Structure 1
Amino acid sequence: MAVDKELVLVTGASGFLGAHCVKALLDKGYRVRGTVRSLKNAHKVEPVRKLDPSGARLSLVEADLNKKDGWEKAVSGCDYVLHVASPFPLGGTQETIDTAIAGTKNVLEACAEEISVKKVVLTSSVAAISEGHRASKERIDESFWSLLEGAVAYVKSKTLAERAAWDYVNQKTHKNNFPLTTINPGFIIGPPLTDDKGSSVEVIMQMMSLPAVPRITFGCIDVRDVAKAHVEAMERPESNGMRVICAEADPHYMVELGKRLQREFASQGYSPAAKTLPDFIIKIGSLFSAQFSAIVGRLGHETRFDNTRLREVLHVQPNDSREALVDMVYELIDRGIIKKTTKYRPRKA
């Protein structure tokens, strides 16, 4: 079947990653159906519609992760499904966990009843792989699963939702026994296509204004690489049944990212964090702050990933995330999400 005849469902189409997945698919000639929670929310919906101004190859439908209703209609007639939608709060609660698991089951159950679906690609996270293994000297690969004792809600949500997905697909007792690939991204950065202030944007906004940052690392990845990985996984049957770590092999300390931002934006009237906050402040703060409590156990840990599958199976060579970060901040300023200074110099196209 020709690409321009194939229909791909992208859940969470208005989100940071979802919008990039929509764009990547449209750029390759696919027809796309995206889910949003409400078609009445113009702030979220209109930027996605602009990715296909003619409306010839993009349509949007309503579907809620917490409700079974709507998913059979959303999946109907689709050749592929990219299940990207999932809650990503900075902290998280039991509701975060319940929503991630329920949403995944609702989407997969609908796919299992729709014989047109050839494959599902699920967005998971390295949070489902590396938690509890940070002290390991070896590189973390896809054979690892996060250890959940004492883990924060977000880690539990991604791990339990992904396990639920594999358990469901591996039953192979459904009307449609489709193959599954999971993409497990690190901390996603890069230029947004919408004005949605997701958790990635919130973290970077804080970095642009805080005087110092904790001594923690991120395994980073450019959002454009993550979207490309989803499309490659969809198209490549050799990835069927695989988990794929989607992150740079080596982590970056927050202060390293802050120094890159300082080099780019200090002369433009901004003060990105380029100093490290002493550990003892985080430890004291953890007694009173849930946000500090969530990072106190990560101080100084450097998790290194084996991203061989990303490079050799999906043929995605990760961009330098420090440059993706610079692209991100320019876009946030141009969109008015970060306030422009009088010294701001827009990038030349």
Structure 2
Amino acid sequence: MEEKSSTICVTGGAGYLGASLVKKLLQKGHTVRATLRNLDDHSKVGLLKSFPKANTNLRLFKADIYNPDEFDPTIQGCDFVFHVATPLQHSTQSSQYKNTTEAAVAALESIMRSCIRSGTVKRLIYTGTVVAASPLKEEEDGSGFKDSIDESCWTPLNLPIQYYGSQFFKDYVYSKTMSEKEVLKYTHRENNKVEVVSLCCGLVGGDTILSYIPASLSCLMSQPLNGPISYQNLESLQGILGKVPVIHINDVCEAHVFCMEQSSLQGRFFCASDFLTTKEIADYFCRHHPEIPIAEEFVGKHGSAVRWGSTKLNDLGFKYSYDAKLILEDSVQCLRRMGAFK
């Protein structure tokens, strides 16, 4: 296990996961270099600079996925790189890339080249997502699920649009699936001394240190929030995965750090502590929080019989601290604190 202080790059350092990860790494005594798209965003910069040890152990860099060469100065001299940033909306001002997939893959290639060129980066840890890991049977054009979901599963990219629910969700699935496949190619390249880990995370819930409700938490809580767009994304997630994998923000941060601290690690790992249907999520709120009304159109669906079959992280010794009840309860309390429930 790596126990010494390291210099670590975190791309997308002001996002839901990125900010929490930066805070945790600083708490552990590491030196952190975090990238943001805009260093003039005083709310995001102020948040990061407010963390304990930030005044001595944190440096902020401007870097944008749509300008991938900007990441290079941040990476040079680092021991580990967490690539958390991902484009959610296509920059219509971009003449170089036609969509988020092209931009995300180009940034990944540039970041990987920087890691190799640095001579110091030991491991790149890519934050993936289970939307890239559908157990749908591709040969049946998505007409059925495999018995279980594990690291061998990849989302078919020939699914009809109804599986995605919206063009936004479809673009996100494409972008994350193609990006993860690209980063994992480096695990097979000869003479590549940089280890590559892809951590496929479930839908993240729990608390947030941000001043707004992040998209992941909004999606998980779309039923008690009665949010039609977020709920459509939640049902689309169940539609391609059979059920919804969930994980607490604290567990997903710990899993990232765990993957960094291993003496040697490479490959694809799934990260989720529970596997729920949207009906089970809604039932929890109806049972434990009847004071929060859920409209009929958001009561959820039963999903499929697909099982969670991934044990790779657990086999290495990683242990989750939050089950579904704690994830959903912390999410409720977080949104209550933020005034989301009247």
TM over 0.5: yes
Q: Is the 8 A contact 2:244 2:275 kept in 1?
A: yes
Which 5+ residue runs of structure 1 have no aligned equivalent? 280-298, 342-349
Count of aligned positions: 311
Q: Is the 8 A contact 1:44 1:196 kept in 2?
A: no
- Quick one: which of 133, 141, 152 aligns to 2:150? 141
- Quick one: which of 258, 271, 293 aligns to 1:271? 293
Say which SS state the counterpart of residue 56 (structure 2) adopts.
Answer: coil
Which moves more between the two structures, 28-37 or 194-203?
A: 194-203
Aligned counterparts of 1:52 and 1:246: Cα–Cα separation in 2: 27
Does the C-alpha gap of structure 1 residues 211 and 22 become closer, same or farther in structure 2, counting only changes over 3 Å? closer
Which moves more between the two structures, 68-77 or 226-235?
A: 68-77
Q: Is the 8 A contact 1:80 1:119 kept in 2?
A: yes
Does the C-alpha gap of structure 1 residues 302 and 102 become closer, same or farther in structure 2, counting only changes over 3 Å? farther
**Residue 98 (str. 1) matches residue 102 (str. 2):** yes
Partner of 2:337: 334
Partner of 1:118: 122
Which 5+ residue runs of structure 2 have no aligned equivalent? 90-96, 161-169
- Quick one: which of 278, 281, 284 aligns to 1:260? 284
Provide TM-score, normalisation by structure 1. 0.79
Q: Is the 8 A contact 2:26 2:53 kept in 1?
A: no
CA RMSD of aligned residues (A): 2.9
Amino acid at match of 2:280: E
Amino acid at match of 1:235: E
Correspondence 1:1-349 to 2 at 5 A: 3=3, 5-52=5-52, 54-88=54-88, 95-130=99-134, 132-133=136-137, 135-150=144-159, 152-173=170-191, 177-204=193-220, 206-210=222-226, 216=238, 217-238=243-264, 240-248=265-273, 251-267=275-291, 270-272=292-294, 300-317=303-320, 319-336=322-339, 338-339=340-341, 341=342
Say which SS state the counterpart of residue 13 (structure 1) adopts.
Answer: coil
Aligned counterparts of 1:50 and 1:3: Cα–Cα separation in 2: 25
Offset, 1:13: 1.0
Q: Is the 8 A contact 1:14 1:44 kept in 2?
A: yes
Q: Is the 8 A contact 1:219 1:303 kept in 2?
A: no
Offset, 1:168: 3.7
Offset, 1:228: 0.8
Q: Is the 8 A contact 2:223 2:298 kept in 1?
A: no
Say which SS state the counterpart of residue 261 (structure 1) adopts.
Answer: helix
Q: Is the 8 A contact 2:187 2:195 kept in 1?
A: yes
Amino acid at match of 2:245: G
Amino acid at match of 2:195: P
Identity of aligned residues (%): 28
Partner of 2:167: none
Partner of 2:165: none
Provide TM-score, normalisation by structure 2. 0.80
Q: Is the 8 A contact 1:189 1:321 kept in 2?
A: no
Aligned counterparts of 2:73 and 2:156: Cα–Cα separation in 1: 36
Say which SS state the counterpart of residue 304 (structure 2) adopts.
Answer: coil
Say which SS state the counterpart of residue 119 (structure 2) adopts.
Answer: coil
Partner of 1:295: none
Aligned counterparts of 1:44 and 1:331: Cα–Cα separation in 2: 19
Say which SS state the counterpart of residue 208 (structure 1) adopts.
Answer: helix
Say which SS state the counterpart of residue 105 (structure 2) adopts.
Answer: helix
Offset, 1:204: 4.1
Does the C-alpha gap of structure 1 residues 166 and 209 become closer, same or farther in structure 2, counting only changes over 3 Å? closer
Amino acid at match of 1:36: L
Aligned counterparts of 1:30 and 1:79: Cα–Cα separation in 2: 10
Does the C-alpha gap of structure 1 residues 204 and 146 become closer, same or farther in structure 2, counting only changes over 3 Å? closer
Q: Is the 8 A contact 1:259 1:272 kept in 2?
A: no
Q: Is the 8 A contact 2:247 2:271 kept in 1?
A: yes
Amino acid at match of 1:147: P
Does the C-alpha gap of structure 1 residues 272 and 25 become closer, same or farther in structure 2, counting only changes over 3 Å? farther
Partner of 1:292: none
Q: Is the 8 A contact 2:187 2:267 kept in 1?
A: no
